Amino acid sequence: MGVGPNRSYPGFTFDSNGFHCDDLGHGCVLMGTVEFQHFWNALDACFDSPLGRKLIYAATDAEERIIGSEDRFKQGRWFGRKRVREALQKRSGLMGWGAFHPEFIAHPAHDALSVGFSLAHREHLDGQRYNVEWRQRSSDAIATTFTEKDGEMTAPSPPRSPTWSGMHRSPSLSAPLELELDVRDSGFYLAEARSMFLPVDLFHHLFASLCGRPVGGSVQQIDVAEGTTIDDVSALKAVAHAACTAFEETDRPIYVQTSSDWSGHLDAHFSHRGFGRVDVDEHVSDGKNVTVFRVQSPVVPFVLGSLIGMWKRAYGTRVQSTLEHAEHEWILSLREPSIEY
How much is the pLDDT for 6? Answer: 46
Residues with pLDDT less than 50, the chain: 1-6, 341
Express each pLDDT in 164-186 by its tens digit.
999 876 656 667 787 888 888 88
Instruction: Return the closest-CA partner of residue 303 out of 24, 31, 7, 84.
Output: 31
How much is the pLDDT for 268? Answer: 93
pTM for the model = 0.93
How much is the pLDDT for 191? Answer: 86
HSE on the CB side for 333, CA within 13 Å? 13
How much is the pLDDT for 287? Answer: 65
Judge whether 290 and 311 are in contact, CB under 8 Å.
no
Instruction: Return the closest-CA partner of residue 130 out of 120, 139, 138, 140.
Output: 120
Domains of the chain: 12-156+178-199 (3.30.1380), 218-335 (3.30.1380)
135-138 contacts at long range (C-beta below 8 A, 24 or more positions apart)? 136/108, 136/111, 137/104
Q: Rounded to whole angstroms, how far apart are CA atoms 96 and 31?
A: 10
Express each pLDDT in 64-112 by its tens digit.
999 999 999 998 777 789 999 999 999 999 999 999 999 999 999 999 9
Say whether 9 sits in a helix, a strand or coil.
strand
How much is the pLDDT for 2? Answer: 36
How much is the pLDDT for 8? Answer: 67
Instruction: Return the closest-CA partner of residue 247 out of 268, 225, 276, 226.
Output: 268
Q: Rounded to whole angstroms, how far apart are CA atoms 212 and 327?
A: 25
